[in-house]
Structure 1
Amino acid sequence: MLRRTATGVVAVMMALTAPAWAQMADPSCKGVAVEWPADLKAWGLAAVPVTAATAPGGAPALTPGTPARVTLAAKEGVTLAVTPPKPAGEKTYAGTVAFTVPAAGPYRIAVDGAAWIDVVADGKSLDSTSHKHGPNCSGIHKVVDFGLAAGTYQLQLSNSPAAIVTVLVVSPQS
């Protein structure tokens, strides 16, 4: 887990690939080969750095199929389009990014931390269709599925104990 130190320096462990990170975080993962479903294999690619927006509108775009290392802001400095149903913790981080899906269908959002995920369209949070954990020893904390129409969406990340999270948006049919 990333932690901000008293000097404000953030440890950049996320530069490591996800399987290596998982192995460092959980000693039982040492030497374990991750069984990747086809749609999540991109998790092991180098993540693109992105700084999340702190207010609705103007959010930077993620590219589906490419992992992003998203820098969030302290919750006190963030205004979200939709209030998450889960109240924010004492010292947490939040932010908004955008993504565009080219065709209607199921889409999956994977994240490496305990961040709350909201997909927002037309000012409303969309209902997810399923939640699960990532593959063992993968570094993926959770995977949330949504049925989406073609179009552009806002991805709100909130209640994250870490200032930097890795996110991957994919179609499970990839």
Structure 2
Amino acid sequence: MKKVIISLFALVAGTGFAVAEDAGCEAFKWPVTREQALFAAAPATPSGGTLAVGAAADLALVPVDKAAFAVPPEHAPGEGTFGAVASVAVPPEGAIQISLSGEAWIDVIQDGKAVKSAGYSGVKTCPGIRKSVRFKLAAGPATIQFSGAKKAELKVAVLTPE
């Protein structure tokens, strides 16, 4: 009887893992189809540039020690990683969703202080999109800091949540 239970558990566990692997972009907590469409034609944007809500950018990152962060990143970036700083005008409703094509830490700074995220979803099985983070902010200017990226480029979409 023990062998049957162990085998059944292994079969169920293996099937659950296979389903999670096959889930791809559907495994995100919210849809990322807008990001996929925007990333395909994202214009090149240098570090220090402006990101528009409702658009994507192919952000050029710099060595993290040259990123000129407004405040130190919440998670200290590793040596040899890349980062960038960008500005954004937060819309009146105040909620934004920042999605990335690769791994990097996101800090949003408003009024000189880092704002905690309001939601996070990350998936390693979605081609072209790695994570999506939501923030509740006040309308007006904000700074977005990206740090700890292993590559010198990162596609970024800034959207209002669906």
Does the TM-score normalized on the shorter chain lie above 0.5? yes
Paired residue type of 2:37? G
Structure-1 residue corresponding to 2:116: 127
Deviation sequence 1:93-149 (CA, Å, 0-9, x none): 111011112212321110111111001111111111111125953421111110122
CA distance in 2, matches of 1:88, 1:38: 29
Calculate the TM-score normalised by the size of structure 2: 0.75
Out of 34, 41, 65, the residue aligned to residue 41 of structure 1 is 34
Q: 1:34 to 1:142 in 2, by over 3 A?
A: closer
Where does residue 62 of structure 2 map in the other structure? 73
Structure 1 residues 33 and 132: CA distance shift in structure 2, 3 A: closer
Rounded Cα–Cα distance in structure 2 between residues aligned with 1:38 and 1:78 = 31
Deviations 1:29-68 (A, max 9, x none): 7xx9955966641432310110012xxxxxx211111110
Offset at residue 80 of structure 1 (A): 0.8
Give the unaligned 5+ runs of structure 2. Answer: 1-20
Q: What is the CA RMSD across the aligned residues, in angstroms? A: 2.4
Task: Say if 1:163 and 1:151 are closer, same or farther in 2 by CA, change over 3 A.
Answer: same
Aligned partners of 2:103, 2:77: CA distance in 1, in Å?
Answer: 12
In 2, the alpha carbon distance for the partners of 1:171 and 1:132 equals: 15
* Equivalent pairs, count: 138
Alignment of 1:5-154 (within 5 A): 40-45=33-38, 46-53=41-48, 60-133=49-122, 136-154=125-143
* 4+ runs deviating over 2 angstroms: 32-40, 134-138
**TM-score (norm. length: structure 1):** 0.70
Could you list the runs of 5+ residues in structure 1 that have no partner in the other structure? 1-27, 54-59
